[in-house]
Amino acid sequence: MKTFPQTFLWGGATAANQVEGAYLEDGKGLSTSDVQPQGIFGEVVERVTGDSGIKDIAIDFYHRYPQDIALFAEMGFNCLRVSIAWTRIFPNGDDAQPNEAGLAFYDKLFDEMARHNITPLVTLSHYEMPWALVKNYGGWGNRKVIDFFERYARTVFERYKGKVKLWLTFNEINMSLHAPLTGVVLPAGSSKGEIYQAIHHQLVASALAVKACHEIVPEGKIGNMLLGGLMYPLSCKPEDVFKTLQENRSWQFFGDVQCRGAYPGYMLRYFCDNGIALDITDADREALRTTVDFVSFSYYMTGCVTADDALNNQARGNILNMVPNPHLASSEWGWQIDPLGLRTLLNVLWDRYQKPLFIVENGLGAKDKVEADGSINDDYRISYLNDHLVQAREAIEDGVELMGFTSWGPIDLVSASKAELSKRYGFIYVDRHDDGTGTLARSKKKSFDWYKEVIATNGASLKA
């Protein structure tokens, strides 16, 4: 019977702006997420108080976390990934003092997890930053933001060093290339040079946070977080294969800097070929030398790359704008389902970095039907997660060091791309809908007991 390592971390993953709600409560400032009510690809809508849309109360985790954590504990979670909303701690980003009420909230949250023996895995910045830093400083385009981020990171490391030992810097740091407003927060129409300069500032900030974590939480571990956007060549034509190498490097480069401590040669050539001259100081180079302890990533799908322009123009538009794979089925949202791709990706990342890996997001967004008796038979979700976990286990047998698996959205939450509640990932159903109606009541789906058994048997119940 194949099982996972005894120390394996099992759980789920969330992000503050997708679950907490309470978007202006207890002194919280407006974040970039609060001014994007339609999600990360939507327009900025800024009113005096922002217009958080469905995220105004999201699933009300801010007030209901004890009940939710009890349900996670019932499933046997020994790990929960959450993020800290930077704006609860520094509402404007440049405030002289941190907001005590915001700090106190996360104290209570981590204490509640501890009561249930759930290890927190905490993301410092999950697709949000103080909106005031964007308005007053220009977001990550401005070097000063590095200092504000470092101060925020040091503040939370000091405050929670006794409670949180596992940290992540920026969620899907490579998404900045596809949704700049979400990552580096630059105005639409910014040049490639401006985007890469802002990315550089974020990479330096990430490295400074790693250094601060090592100083303040010496027994802790801190990782990066990549969108694992594995691409295949659409054909074996050498042109397709080479273009695929370049496409994969376009996201791997973030990991290369964070794991190896310097820009790889292929990126220096890319900058040169494209007339991009980055402002990289000696202090930046020194900072980048501090590398992460482990590599975490999200995995939902793979895509194909072709050098043929005609085929490229037919590409279906999804997050990464890749060409569909004719051999794979898709989710209702057009995300192509590829469990074996997870094994490939784990091996690719292990071969490349030789650092422990952590799957911190994976799951199926789907519309769920509540039956007359209240039950939700989400066999499609069970099958998706089963097949991905089987491949993760295979990768461990291949020699990959895998720390854990936190499925995305263990409880239904607001989707990032379009701020929908109808795109559900949870083992726990939340009665709230896209139009804001619903009681917010929680109920268990069929997958709840399935995941509970997977954890209880440490993976032995999975069906290969």
List contacts with ligand BG6 (CB under 6 A).
Answer: 15, 18, 127, 171-172, 227, 298, 361, 365, 408, 415-417, 423
Cα four-point dihedral sign 134, 158, 207, 178: negative
Q: How far is the CB of 187 from ligand BG6 (least distance, A)?
A: 22
Pair of tokens at residue 429: 């159903």
361 is catalytic: yes
- Of these residues, 20, 361, 394, 420, which one is catalytic? 361
Q: Which one, 407 or 415, has the nearer CB to ligand BG6? A: 415
Q: What is the DSSP letter of 271?
A: H
CA 430, CA 441: separation in Å to the nearest integer? 6
Residue (143 or 423) nearer to ligand BG6, CB: 423
To ligand BG6, the closest distance from the beta carbon of 271 in angstroms equals 26
Terminal-residue alpha carbon distance, the chain: 11
State how far Cα 379 lies from the chain centre: 25
Which C-beta is closer to ligand BG6: that of 270 or that of 333? Answer: 333
| 304 neighbors 231 (Cβ within 8 angstroms) | yes
**Residue 278 to residue 184: CA distance in whole angstroms:** 15
Closer residue to ligand BG6 (CB): 171 or 202: 171
Q: How many residues does the chain have?
A: 464
Listed residue (291, 289, 118) closest to 213, CA to CA: 291
Nearest residue to 79 via CA among 111, 105, 113, 109? 113
Residue 401: active-site member: no
Nearer to ligand BG6, 81 or 243 (CB): 81
- Point out the catalytic residue in the list 20, 128, 150, 172: 172
What is the spatial distance between Cα 152 and Cα 156, in angstroms, rounded to a whole number? Answer: 6
Distance CA 278, CA 273 (A): 13
Q: Which residues are annotated as catalytic? A: 172, 361
